[in-house]
Copies of this chain bind each other. A is one copy, B any other.
């Protein structure tokens, strides 16, 4: 219940837009940029960004955004990133994280990787229901966003499109039991997107991100 106040800060629609914008960038964001993205004045953006920081939802620091140093480089600007601390409230109280951790401990010892992946793939398929396999990377991004993965596209000139995800919905358990839980996550997404469609998921772990990337399935055999 202690996180109620932090979460309630997002009731304000401007704060919510600012928070979502900063979270989606996955890097330090300055006040001007955030103000523009949220469609508000710099002063108002600064006020709300600082409220979000006080509530513990953003972290702030300062940096010279111009890249210049020395005299004439200007004052360092305040920049914001999404806070790493997890805030959560469940009513009634729920503690599925503890359940998942204890179950993962027992499952890892028993080497249940394969049956877990099978259960995850079936779950992904049943979430998709009777829909056709996911038809495009844009559709995949929407599906991933709806499940909290915070997808973003990696931009590299001339390279095929690759969707990466900033957030792992299973974060703490995945950190403790990476092969087991990341394998489960991949199978869940494979089931969700459907086999033999134009979109394919594969494992490509990077620190601080989800371990899965999504791309056109024809890239898969490159």
Which A residues have a C-beta under 8 Å from some C-beta of B?
Answer: 1, 4-8, 10-11, 16, 23, 57, 82, 86-107, 109-110, 112, 115-116, 118-120, 123, 147-150, 167, 169-173, 181, 184, 188
Closest B residue by C-beta to A120: B102
Question: Which B residues lie within 8 Å of A170 (CB)?
Answer: 94-96, 98-99
Shortest CB–CB separation between residue A178 and chain B, in angstroms? 13
Q: Taking each of A99, A150, A169, A171, which has the highest tally of chain B beta carbons within 10 Å of its own beta carbon?
A: A99
7 pairs across A/B with beta carbons < 8 Å? A93-B147, A94-B169, A94-B171, A96-B100, A96-B173, A99-B104, A103-B116
A184 touches B99 (CB 8 A): yes
Q: How many copies does the complex hold?
A: 2
Shortest CB–CB separation between residue A107 and chain B, in angstroms? 5
Closest B residue by C-beta to A181: B99
Question: Which B residues lie within 8 Å of A91 (CB)?
Answer: 6-7, 10, 57, 86-88
A92's contact among B98, B106, B171, by CB below 8 Å, is which? B171
Q: A173–B167 Cα gap in the complex (Å)?
A: 24
7 smallest CB-CB distances across A and B, nearest first, come from A93-B148, A8-B8, A103-B103, A95-B169, A96-B96, A88-B90, A100-B100
A167 touches B93 (CB 8 A): yes
Q: A92–B115 Cα gap in the complex (Å)?
A: 28
A10's contact among B1, B86, B172, B188, by CB below 8 Å, is which? B1
Question: Which B residues lie within 8 Å of A89 (CB)?
Answer: 7, 87-89
Question: Which B residues lie within 8 Å of A109 (CB)?
Answer: 115
Q: A53–B7 Cα gap in the complex (Å)?
A: 20
A107's contact among B11, B97, B112, by CB below 8 Å, is which? B112
Closest B residue by C-beta to A85: B91
Q: Taking each of A11, A88, A123, A184, which has the highest tally of chain B beta carbons within 10 Å of its own beta carbon?
A: A88
A95's contact among B93, B98, B116, B148, by CB below 8 Å, is which? B148
Closest B residue by C-beta to A6: B91
Q: A150–B171 Cα gap in the complex (Å)?
A: 28
